[in-house]
Amino acid sequence: DAGVTQSPTHLIKTRGQHVTLRCSPISGHKSVSWYQQVLGQGPQFIFQYYEKEERGRGNFPDRFSARQFPNYSSELNVNALLLGDSALYLCASSLLETQYFGPGTRLLVL
Amino acid sequence: AQSVAQPEDQVNVAEGNPLTVKCTYSVSGNPYLFWYVQYPNRGLQFLLKYITGDNLVKGSYGFEAEFNKSQTSFHLKKPSALVSDSALYFCAVLNTGFQKLVFGTGTRLLVSP
């Protein structure tokens, strides 16, 4: 079975631009969560979606938004990029309490 | 607020020796606890979890963890370390309110040949 997939794997943007990251969950999983992992730190929760509805939001500015599609895939959008947005963005899907993570998208903002 | 703490930034162990990576938690109610491993430039891999039941939980790659309610700890263990176990290990607690994982700061495990 395929695991969680994310695209792209790497991305370089400049300050002020916007970015869209994509995630496909494990087949049958209806919940998708997004995390930001800055170098040297543990992942920080950004959003959780279940059945296309936002169920939780972490302490991130409104520049961060997300959505979930009918096939349960998800997009994370970040507007007006800042240097501090450089990080590994992780997507996780879950059926019950265990979250399974994708390989992540590494975003570098110059 | 729910939180976990990993008191060691790095743990060094020789191959073949037992290893322990420490984690303590602070939660209200019953904790849902997890261990994940991260290899360089990779995502997180699920190792094991404690929800309820036996205090000794067995997981992937020979790892196990012991839940201790009185000491609020959930230490990760392996009887015999391998060089390939060298990685970054994260302890996490699930905020069951809306299913978000709260991670510790991570512990780097270095297994020497």
B52-69 per-position pLDDT tens digit = 889 999 999 999 999 999
Contacts of B51 in chain A (CB under 8 A): 97
- Does the pLDDT of residue B112 top 90, yes or no? yes
Average pLDDT, chain A: 95
Nearest CA in chain A to B39: A103
- Does the pLDDT of residue B41 top 80, yes or no? no
Contacts of A55 in chain B (CB under 8 A): 98-99
CA A74 to chain CA centroid, nearest Å: 8
Question: What is d(CA B26, CA A21) in angstroms, rounded to the nearest whole number?
Answer: 33
Contacts of A104 in chain B (CB under 8 A): 42-43
The continuous run of DSSP H or E covering B36 comes out as strand B33-38
CA A69 to chain CA centroid, nearest Å: 14
- Show the domains of chain B with their CATH numbers: 3-112 (2.60.40.10)
- Show the domains of chain A with their CATH numbers: 5-109 (2.60.40.10)
Which single residue is written with the structure tokens 């037992």?
Answer: B18
CB-CB under 8 Å, A101 with B101: no
Residue B12 CB coordination number (10 Å): 12
Question: What is d(CA B72, CA B58) in angstroms, rounded to the nearest whole number?
Answer: 18
